[in-house]
Chains A and B, each alone.
Chain A
């Protein structure tokens, strides 16, 4: 079904993986060292590479870095397989650009499951539910909410955070990941590539929590981003790969944003509690009348001061309110330290409010 390159200096591991992958109808290419493995990756262009870390001439981290640095093979999915099984090793593997890290001794069933997940060929898998975090007003913590929401959903089931910002998105920064791969590369490809599971999967960045991120281009986009058709096709492919997709939406109603709103089951409409914030929310609801039923309101207070009563907000907007997040100065500092509250401070008001929101999203 897929072409898989296995690079390991241990001949027993090569034999074992060759046998297991061929039994699962994959085409297997074998290599016993890093230099040869890189040459075969360039020549054969496999869908997936399984890379050992400890190899004599070039270690696995260096090999993965070289794969990611070469535009012709950068989108390839990579599994790092190593006997070095410490948390620091996992972190190093993911930082080097691997999608998945597996420690030896090898459990072949778990390994094959990871291969299928990565190639998007799991059988009988349900399509992912899409939860956009949307606001036409900037500066009210949309990326903070989207990032923490995705991390909390990841604790329930495999989740992808899709950063759709066209103006230098910050999700990768907040998660401490380098956006060495991002969806900007897809804009240069033909439309039918968006349906190719292996191409799309190769663009994910992996966070140590297991959360996958499809990062935004690090530089502001010149010109249009995705068309509505392109994004619908992309979402169709992404939905096969995880259980939840959280979308950090751009603060505009462009074609891409409209495609996401069309595909979403529930949308978190994020609002400030100040007058301009409430006015923007009212106007947004006016424009998006058709999607009104799918909206769940979430208020985020980003400045200290008095707060209007929840009942008044409910009456003004005539929509269910998921939660009102009180002002919390630690909210952004946690993200700036690349340690989001969902992981570093599970008792924070933000996390408690998002847990309430998740219950409503999944109910």
Chain B
């Protein structure tokens, strides 16, 4: 009998005009740890249900198992922010985080949400100077660029930096 600890995280993955809903087994980590982990380029998703983003509620097909290439993902939407945070992001800090409203454009989407920055970081260097492939944005609303009535909301989004068209900031 398989007795290893399972921690199922249900998430929506957006890539190449498709929405894939499925369950990721994060085991003893969080989903954030897994997607930021640079030692693997893929994520294995169970019970994957695929829709085209033009008709995001219509299930085109489903597969019990799907493998997703991390570098092809535009963003992943998570309902519980604890699942999105990396282990190091969960530690407390003496300084309160700086909340920075952002607008991000991605293929087929524009996202609005908040960055939580430690006081010492300048958000302008986020895309250029940091080594992580993804960016965590909180309280996210994502609208499709071709139909603003189609929107998705989540507690957090993990955004692939190389897919970002522009990152708009309201303050620094």
Binding site for B on A (CB under 8 A): 9, 53-54, 56, 59, 61, 83-89, 91-93, 104-105
Interface residue from B49, B64, B151, B153 paired with A84 (Cβ < 8 Å): B49
Binding site for A on B (CB under 8 A): 10, 12, 21, 23, 47, 49, 56-59, 62, 64, 79, 150-153
Q: How far, in angstroms, from A91 to B55 measured CA to CA in the complex?
A: 12
Knowing A61-B59, A92-B57, the reply to whether A54 touches B49 (Cβ < 8 A) is yes
Q: How far, in angstroms, from A16 to B12 measured CA to CA in the complex?
A: 25
**Chain B proximity of A113: nearest CB distance (Å):** 21
Q: Do A54 and B57 touch across chains, with their CB atoms under 8 A apart?
A: no
Q: How far, in angstroms, from A61 to B10 measured CA to CA in the complex?
A: 19
The binding surface of chain A is classed by DSSP as loop
Cross-chain pairs A/B with CB under 8 angstroms, 7 sampled: A59-B59, A83-B10, A83-B21, A87-B152, A87-B153, A88-B57, A91-B57
Set of chain A residues within 8 Å of B151, measured between Cβ atoms: 86-88
Q: Do B150 and A54 touch across chains, with their CB atoms under 8 A apart?
A: no
The binding surface of chain B is classed by DSSP as strand
A-B contact count (CB 8 A): 47
Set of chain B residues within 8 Å of A59, measured between Cβ atoms: 49, 59, 62
Knowing A56-B64, A83-B21, A104-B10, the reply to whether A88 touches B59 (Cβ < 8 A) is no
| Most chain B CB neighbours (cut-off 10 Å) among A61, A92, A104 | A92
Set of chain B residues within 8 Å of A61, measured between Cβ atoms: 57-59
Closest residue of chain A to B56, judged by CB?
A88
Closest residue of chain B to A60, judged by CB?
B59
**Chain A proximity of B117: nearest CB distance (Å):** 27
Q: How far, in angstroms, from A56 to B62 measured CA to CA in the complex?
A: 7
Knowing A84-B21, A86-B12, A87-B153, the reply to whether A54 touches B62 (Cβ < 8 A) is yes
Q: How far, in angstroms, from A91 to B58 measured CA to CA in the complex?
A: 11
Set of chain A residues within 8 Å of B57, measured between Cβ atoms: 61, 84, 86, 88-89, 91-93
Closest residue of chain A to B80, judged by CB?
A105
Q: Do B59 and A54 touch across chains, with their CB atoms under 8 A apart?
A: yes
Q: Do B47 and A54 touch across chains, with their CB atoms under 8 A apart?
A: yes
